[in-house]
Structure formats: C-alpha cells, structure tokens
Structure 1
Amino acid sequence: MTDILDPIHEAQTATDTPLFASLPGDIRASFEFFPPKSEKMEAQLWDAVQQLAPLDPSFVSVTYGAGGSTRERTHNTVARIIREADLPAAAHLTCVDASKAEIREVAEQYWEAGVRHIVALRGDAGEPGAPFQPHPEGYATAADLVRGLKDIADFEISVAAYPETHPDASCPDSDIDNLARKLDAGATRAISQFFFSADTFFRFQDKLAARGITTPVLPGILPVTNVAQARKFAGACGAKIPEWMDGLFEGLDERPASRQLVAATIAAELCRRLYAGGVRDLHFYTLNRADLAYAICHMLGMRPKDAAK
C-alpha cells in the first residue's frame, strides 16, 4: 500500500507543479445516490452505479425521503445494488414521522436484505424552514436513533457532520457536541455536509481534534452544475456558496458541456487541496450522475480495479 506523502512536500507540490501529476491513486471513494422516481430515472441511476462500480468504492449509499416517502424505493435500490452490483451499500434512515416500532421494522427488513450499513440521520421537516418535530413514539435525535439501531442489529453506522454548522445548532460548539453524542452512541464514522473550501474542512478537523474526537469524518463533495439548485441545498444545511462560483457559471445556462467542465474543475481542485492536506477518503454526492465523480477520481489517480491488475 502506498504511504501517505509528506504534507509539507504535498503543499509545495500543490503550488509549483501540475496539480494532478503523478498521483499514486491512494484515495478511497464512496458515492451517494437518491432513489429513482420513474423508470427513466431508475435507468439513469443504474447506469451511474455500473460506471462507478469498477472504482471499487468503499461503499455507496441511497438517501431516504422525509417521513419515509421513498422508503420502498430506497429499500429496492439498496437491495438491487447489493444483489446485482455486489457493492457494499448503505441505506439512509431518519427519525422523521416514524415511530420506534416502524424504524425497527424497516431496519430488520434492511438486515434481511443484506444491508449492514445505515446512514442514521435525524432528518428535517418536509417544508423548508419548518422546525423538526419528533414523532411522539419515535426517536428525538440522531444519537437516539444510533443507539436504537445498535440494539436492533450490529449495523455499521454513519452519521452527519457539518463543517459550517447545522442551521438548527445554537453555535458551532453545540453542533460539535451533538456530533460527539452521535459518535459516542456507536457510530462508525461521520460524513460531512458539502463545502467549497478546503480550509473549511481543515478548520473543522482542528476543532474536532481539540474536542478529542478521533472518529473518521469523510468530506462530502458536491460537484455543482446548477448553482441555483446548489444554493437551495446549501440553505437547508448551513453550507456557504462562495461568490466567485456564481461568476464562473455566469453565461453558461445554455451550455451544459461547458458547465460540466467548470463543475469538474472546481470540485477536482477542492479534492486536490484536501489530498494535499492528507485526506484520502472522499464521499461524493453524485445526484445520480457518474461522469463528474468518475472524472475527479480519475484525476486523483484512481483507476478501475480490474485495469490496475
């Protein structure tokens, strides 16, 4: 296995040589999908899964709609990925509009389908800006959900982390305290919300280290092709869209290929800066498209598993 390169050397390399030259491909990637709403979307999702599978991802995950609105589609998608793509697949599960008994039923169905990894989230209300209201017979927090899932089966559990602070948190310190509670409850790792500055993630890592948190946190990467859509996502999770990003996409509304190129460049540079800082695990929010995530992984030196033999 390739040793992690010296960070000082890497920092120098990132400033005075071609950014993506001679990288050893020692990164690990995971990919997130959302359940399809139509046959056409299902075909697009499956095409993305098949394109990314040769990269041998650490895992892939499938999201879960508010109040279980995509419960059946999520279950079917995860089960198919395990069955046909032979990939380690994680299913998202939230506290929204579900009793503990309902969550137990869903978790047991996942276990029976071969799912051994759950992304446990508190979840948000269906309407933007509406406060979260726990089900009277459900779990009130993600930490409670993690403990409940651990009582059901020996799941591997991922939870969410917020480098720029969750909108519901009173302050950054309280948000980190909440993350600590989720990890103490039995979570294996955290996956960060997306961000657009490597320094944002590194400062977050420093705060976690100062708090004594050593559990791995995977940086979440969102390749942006639609700034308006990204701004909507960001408003719900506390992420900041930098002003310079608007300028880079200006005038490209009718040029999808150019938007793709710009998006890949921005996200690849972010990943390269993270790599220079020692990050080797990346989690991509694919929006059910494989091309950008695949291109970025390729630029970072990752190659299909069979081709590497």
Structure 2
Amino acid sequence: MSVPYPPPPSYPALSYELFPPRSTSAEVGLWKTIRALEDTRPDFVSVTYGASGSNRDTAVGLLERLLDETTLKPLAHLTCVGNSLAYLSELVDELISRGVRGILALRGDQPQDRSLPEGDLQFASELVELIRRVERSRTAHLCAGKVAVGVAAYTTRHPESPSFEHDIEVLLAKQAAGADFAITQVFFAPTHYSRLLRTARRAGVDIPIIPGVIPFTSVRRLERLSELAGIDIDTQLRERLMNAGNDAQRRRIGIQATVDLAHAALDDGAPGIHIYTFNEHAAALDVLDRLDLSRPPAPGLSQSA
C-alpha cells in the first residue's frame, strides 16, 4: 500500500513594483529599497516600462542588475502602444536572452497629446500572443520551460471601457491569448476586488488574479492615482488622512487601511498581494509587518529550522 505524500505548504504570493531611476541620486535610493525588499524573499518584483520604450535602456539595465546582483526574480513590464511589431519582437527576444522569465504584457496609455504613433498592436491580448510566438522560437534556450506572462485587471471600469462587463471580456481574451496571471490596478474598497473575482470566475477566467495595493500614506498620491485610474477615491479615508494630527498619525491610519484592504482580499481568495512601492521601502515593509503573511523558509533552511 503506497503512502500518500503530504501536500506542500501553501504560501500567499508576495511581490512589489519598482520603476527605473531617473537620476543618480534616485538610483542610490532605489537600491536601498531593493536590498530592504530582498530580505522579505518576494516571489517577484515588477519593473515598469515607459510608453513607447522611452526608458528602455534604464529599464533593461535595472532588469540586468536585478538578475546579476540580487536573488530577486524580475517581471518586466512591456507596453505595445506606439511600438512596431518588429521592435516588440526584438525586445521580447532580448529580454529572454538576458535571462528574464516573466513579462507583464500591457497595452499602455497614449499620452494626452497623442504624440505616439499608432503602433502595430492595439490590444494587450495581441502582445501576449506575440510573447508566446517569440517564446516558441526560443524553446531550446528555455530548456523546454516557458515565460510567465502577466496582464492587468481592473476592479472598476477602465476609463476607456464602455462597461465593467466589457473589461471582464477583455481579461478573458488575455487569458485565451496565453496569459498566466493578472495583477489588478489600484482600488480603494474591498468590494471592488471581490466583485472582480466573482464576476471573472463566472465568465470563465481561471488564472490567478493578484490584488495590487499601495500604502495609503499620501493624500496627494491617492488623488493622483484616482485621477489616472479614473476611479473614485475613498472620501472617508481621504478625510481621515487630511484630519490626522501629525505625519506619524497619518502614516498609521494609511498603513492600517492598506492592511485591512489586503486582508479582505486574501479572505476573498486572493492568491497573494502585489505592493506598489513607488521605490520606497519603509511604508511597504510596514504594511508587510502588519499583514503578517506566512512566507516560505529561506533557501537551505528546513521547515523546523
């Protein structure tokens, strides 16, 4: 009689978002953040990419340093707006050649002045398909493995979408094109994530949908994100932050609100948490400390160590 093996322990996924530095001083600060976040043993860190490759060199340079100088696994953002098919194919091939094994496929936003060319691809699902085509041409180099492809998901209606239901159809199309997982844009209410998850599952979306959260410590940042994402800010949270007696109290209020939002998402079945850091580690680590996520043991340590 065979003895069944016990299932491996399950841990919520943990990841962070970083963006390439714009100056030497910003680079110094970013690497302090990277080293601090590395100690938490995240599953991956995402690296943003400017519209039409405006920061290609710094983005690729950061990806290389993460691969060469850290234990972190980078997820490279890639946008298709304003880019040609040839350019995108070349860049995906370059990323694979440099050792990147995760790509977040995004449409990207056209600047308000419409200064970018139209580009050959109109939708993120087409970019997912392109990544898979390049991947198939590099199967031998990947040792028969694959590239993990992520996409964006929206807990409320995308600003350019006719409806929330249409956004679900778009997410389903991204899955059909070959996406492995999705990360949500910023949201402010627990019900936003639970509705997305419930509606997406009913529609046939079965890939993991990871909630993306930000430390709610800056009113100005919340207002800016609300404007960019086209979502209503939590007015009660905004007033609590505005009426805080000092910065320390404002920070405590914001961190706790973020932790509450993340806990609610995990209780709803979220597979993990993605933290938008804005290249600052202190608030992200405060959120993580209070969230108290169970993490796998460090490499080389047994479960009982």
Return the match for 2:283 from 278, 283, 292.
Answer: 292
Cα deviation for residue 295 of structure 1 reads 1.9
What is residue 206 of structure 2 aligned with on the other side?
A: 214
Matched ranges for 1:235-250 at <5 A: 235-250=227-242
Q: Which amino acid aligns with 1:221?
A: V
CA distance in 2 between counterparts of 1:82 and 1:296 reads 26
Is residue 96 of structure 1 aligned with residue 81 of structure 2?
yes
What is residue 252 of structure 2 aligned with on the other side?
A: 261
Return the match for 1:139 from 109, 121, 136.
Answer: 121
- Is contact 1:124-1:132 (8 Å) kept? no
Q: Deviations over 1:201-241 (max 9, x none)?
A: 11111111111211110001011222222222222223321
Q: Deviations over 1:38-96 (max 9, x none)?
A: 11111111111111112211110010111211111111111111111121101110012
The alignment's TM-score, normalised by the length of structure 2, stands at: 0.86
CA distance in 2 between counterparts of 1:297 and 1:241 reads 23
Cα deviation for residue 113 of structure 1 reads 1.3
Return the match for 1:277 from 268, 272, 279.
Answer: 268
Q: Count residues in correspondence.
A: 284
CA distance in 1 between counterparts of 2:183 and 2:27 reads 25
Q: Percent identity, aligned pairs only?
A: 30
Is residue 56 of structure 1 aligned with residue 41 of structure 2?
yes
Q: Which amino acid aligns with 1:95?
A: C
Cα deviation for residue 280 of structure 1 reads 4.0
Secondary structure of 2:206 counterpart:
coil
What is residue 98 of structure 2 aligned with on the other side?
A: 113
What is residue 36 of structure 1 aligned with on the other side?
A: 21
What is residue 302 of structure 1 aligned with on the other side?
A: 293
Return the match for 1:162 from 154, 157, 169.
Answer: 154
Return the match for 1:234 from 203, 226, 238.
Answer: 226
Return the match for 1:192 from 165, 184, 192.
Answer: 184
Secondary structure of 1:55 counterpart:
coil
Matched ranges for 1:57-96 at <5 A: 57-96=42-81
Tell which deviates more after alignment, 264-273 or 28-37: 264-273
- Is contact 1:234-1:241 (8 Å) kept? yes
Unmatched 5+ stretches in structure 1: 5-25
Cα deviation for residue 290 of structure 1 reads 1.2
Q: Deviations over 1:155-185 (max 9, x none)?
A: 2110000010111111111111111111110
What is residue 9 of structure 1 aligned with on the other side?
A: none
- Is contact 1:160-1:191 (8 Å) kept? yes
The alignment's TM-score, normalised by the length of structure 1, stands at: 0.85
Tell which deviates more after alignment, 93-102 or 219-228: 219-228
Q: Deviations over 1:2-61 (max 9, x none)?
A: 978xxxxxxxxxxxxxxxxxxxxx432110011100111111111111111122111100
Cα deviation for residue 289 of structure 1 reads 1.0
Q: Which amino acid aligns with 1:73?
A: T
CA distance in 2 between counterparts of 1:211 and 1:190 reads 15
Q: Which amino acid aligns with 2:211?
A: P
Cα deviation for residue 121 of structure 1 reads 0.3
CA distance in 2 between counterparts of 1:259 and 1:54 reads 26
Q: What RMSD over aligned residues (CA atoms) do the two structures have, in Å? A: 2.3
Cα deviation for residue 97 of structure 1 reads 1.6
Is residue 174 of structure 1 aligned with residue 174 of structure 2?
no
CA distance in 2 between counterparts of 1:28 and 1:296 reads 15
Q: Which amino acid aligns with 1:122?
A: R
Unmatched 5+ stretches in structure 2: 1-6, 136-145
Q: Alpha carbons of 1:219 and 1:303: their partners in 2 closer, same or farther (altered >3 Å)?
A: closer
CA distance in 2 between counterparts of 1:46 and 1:159 reads 26
